[in-house]
Structure 1
Amino acid sequence: MSGEQRDLTPRPNPILAEPATPETCAGDLRSPSEQQAAAGAARDQAAFGRINAAGR
């Protein structure tokens, strides 16, 4: 990055902002492999969050 700083401003999660209705769930059209990748990324994010919260 040529001297530019990344924008680290927190943004609302669009998934959490949506109400859990059948219509919004039906809108999730990821393939099974994309769903697995997203689930793995969520597990990684949760694990790293716990590590950071523990101060290690």
Structure 2
Amino acid sequence: MSEQQRDLTPQPNQILAEPATPQACAADLRTATEQQTAAGAARDQAVFARINAAR
């Protein structure tokens, strides 16, 4: 068989299945550069939302 069949049954979300521990949260922290990038993206999103709301 040249085509492999994909398993289409629902799979549990591994992120939601794992307990939130201090160690897991510490591993998810953003670097300073990532924080600045995220803050800039949030500002852009807020500005575009205001522009669209004003139309």
- TM-score between both structures, scaled by the size of structure 1: 0.49
Q: Report percent identity of matched pairs.
A: 72
Q: Which runs of 5+ in 1 are unaligned?
A: 1-22
Structure 1: which 4+ aligned runs deviate by more than 3 Å? 25-28
Structure with bigger RCO (C-alpha 8 Å, 6+ apart): 1
> How many pairs does the alignment contain?
33
Change (3 A) 1:34 1:53: same
Q: Which runs of 5+ in 2 are unaligned?
A: 1-21
1:1-56: per-residue Cα shift (whole Å, max 9, x none)?
xxxxxxxxxxxxxxxxxxxxxx6x8675000000000000000000000000000x
Does residue 43 in structure 1 map to residue 46 in structure 2?
Answer: no
